[in-house]
Copies of this chain bind each other. A is one copy, B any other.
Amino acid sequence: ALAAPAIAQSMPKITWRCTSGFPKALDTIYGAAEVFAAAVNEATDGNFNIQVFAAGEIVGTLEALDAVSNGTVEMMHNCSYYFWGKDPTFGIGTGIPFGLNARMTNGWLYEGGGTDLLNEFYANYNTIAFPAGNTGAQMGGWFRKEINTLDDLKGLKFRIGGMGGKIIEKVGVVPQGIPGGDIYPALEKGAIDGAEWVGPYDDSKLGFNKVAPYYYYPGWWEGGVTVHNFINLEKWNELPKSYQAIVKSASALANSVMMARYDTLNPKALKEIAASGTQLRPYSQQILEACFDAATETYAELSAENATFKKVHDSYMGYRREGYLWQQLSEYNFDTFQMLQQRAGKL
């Protein structure tokens, strides 16, 4: 028999299943997984075919990591911070309260050693991950009444995702873990006092402006939320080097496109929300400072008891310190001047 040509070996037929942590309705986050899969498919002439499934179609958001670890699915497009209960280090991959903004997150992940550090940790869960989406700084949530002082937070029932719940608990809030689809009725009935989700575009799909008049900013617990492609480690190692390179580049494309999509869709949604009567409110400095201190305290506690968390956290927060030193100069002053022109109606 003839030997197969070497070139044929390099484009094997492979089909993978990717479970998204999000519903199809979120064309932003779920859409980024589709952008990724399409880029891989096109780059391989359809030979490497990644099928994307919405959360719950195969496994739910919170079961997805186990499903990737044990090979039930080859990969997931998901936020690592859903798994911070297993180990708080999972929080850092997505971003932790008062952490890096979107641009610094990319700086840390691509060139600051972040991706290698995270993958050293993720290997314990038989996975490897690459950044594949960002929301930017999220909004700070919807409230049925105004929140001005720390006293206003005492006993407040607030739906919040990720590690933010652990921090905000320290200032008296009672965090509520409620899936996206159940937030609206809970807020409408007053079973909860407030809820955060993402930002104008995603939030308005869920109709929160109809049941809560106050919309706060900034979302200090989610300054640059990153979604990763998590891949089963054996499945990754079985890929030809060329497919591995394609996965990395296609993940970078999805990372940029998701951020771009939010930035393109959010302005219009924000205007519609404001036109519907929603009151935009900044969190007070008192609240922000108390939450910042609570976060710093929490990270010190976690670092004392978890060497892996400490190692990754030190790198991440070192990047924050250097990043804000630089970005407050030219970047911030450029934006500040432009925003003054915007308010003066000159843009």
Contact = CB atoms under 8 A, between A and B. Distances in A.
Interface in A293-342: 296, 317, 319-335, 337-339, 341-342
B335 A347 contact: no
A272 to B, nearest CB: 12
A229 B345 CA distance: 35
A331 B244 CA distance: 33
Given A39-B249, A249-B43, A264-B112, A329 B292 contact: no
Given A8-B5, A246-B246, A217 B329 contact: yes
A140 B330 CA distance: 8
A325 B271 contact: yes
A107 interface: yes
A194 interface: no
Contact of A220 (B280, B337, B342): B337
Given A111-B263, A137-B331, A296-B346, A338 B256 contact: no
Contact of A267 (B110, B200, B296, B325): B325
A296 B344 CA distance: 14
A64 to B, nearest CB: 24
Given A242-B42, A325-B267, A333 B217 contact: yes
Interface string A29-62: 0000000000100111101000000000000000
Contacts of A109: 260
Contact of A103 (B102, B223, B320): B102
Contacts of A285: 337
Interface string A242-262: 101110111011011101110
A111 B264 contact: yes
